[in-house]
Structure 1
Amino acid sequence: MHRSVLQPQSSSFVARLCVAGPVHARLARGSAGNGCSCITPGLWKAKNRGKVRLRFLLDFGYATGLRASELVGATLGHVQTDARGDHWLRVTGKGRKLARVALPPLAWDALAHYLAERELPIAPMRWRPETPVIGSLEADSGSTISSVRLSGVLRRFFLVAAKSIEADHPPLAEKLRRPSPHWMRHTHATHALGRGAELTTVRDNLRHASVSTTSIYLHSDDVKRARQIGDDFTTDRRR
């Protein structure tokens, strides 16, 4: 059974690391150098490009639930806005199937911020369609990163995370030492369902062939379940 690895309570995957207390603050410092990896204007310098890209990867990957191959294959030409103002990303998934994935506010804002840090236009009408969503760290480069490179970037992040929390949370640290880019996809599904999204909605956004595949992300909260059952069967409720 798949389970989300980190449990962000705010909408932003990275905001959870930045503000949720000493353990996550250490995690953020370990991945970004001195201080939290929150974006500030002008970070797109040689030594900061990796930090900016990492933050974007975490928020965009978490908000969309994209596969690693879909993340590295995405270009600005694949982004669409419909008549209602909703944003979508055209993807080619497993079996070369074409589909659309919703871009919620977290993903859209992360993209706009990331483009600004890369000194690229934010307005869609000024985009170059071939520009990769995830850019290379080389200045003025129009290339993207490979799936192998993406895996390496995320692996290093989670290994730093493991080291940062191993004294306080050894079991979680041990799990973080076995990272996978798919974790963000798993976490996306788990949190969407946990926050009330319909099973069929999450299935369609993840592009699962069967709703039974999506249902593996339905996890009960043991604390909540114990409390609710306990409230229904208290000893003072006698007939």
Structure 2
Amino acid sequence: MKRPMDSTATPPSTKVTRISADALAGQIDSLSAAVNAMLVQDDISQAVKLQFGVLLTTLHTCQHVIESLNNNANNNSAEEQERRRSLVIIGLPENSSALPSERVRQDQKVVSGILDELGVEAVPTTTYRMGRPDVHRASPRLVKVVLPASVHQHIALGGWKKERTRLRSLPNWGRLLIRPSLSREQLQAEYEQRQAKRNGMTNHPPNANIISTQLHELGRQMNQNFH
């Protein structure tokens, strides 16, 4: 007596074989070479050669698409790795020096002092203001800080959670806010979530005005500055 077929089993003919993009590109190269070889044969009609020509064009298009997807995936991976070891500092006053190099040095000096307060034993690989200088800007530009490793980001955020009240009591740091570097999508989600919470609050905490100002500035810069 035959055993009944398991309705949940996947028939062999419907199983999907997953291959890497490089392997797929290699298969396309091989197929393209075979088509090219057939196109030079004399015993093939012009109509068939025309169809093979269309097939060859399609194969080349597929190959370009695969290469583009690979490049995008590599770029996204590199950006994500950088975000995991980066901080964004909000509310840090900008130096008024006319020399860009002096403004950069002052930012690096202040950021170094903040990292000391947070217990981070590392020198940032990059520190810079996000966006163009604008004397008419109501609040200072965000500061992007790229650290050597993701562990330094974790230490900094942990230190900020413990020390933020004390740090905000220091001169020029009253509006200071430190967060991890986020993607555009993460920024949008965070902003909408915080706006919803703020709109639903009836009793404002003591720092509500400061937080409100920071959220407004973050939302305004969100479409220009991210990572």
TM-score bracket for the superposition, by shorter chain length: under 0.3
Q: TM-score if structure 1 supplies the norm length?
A: 0.22
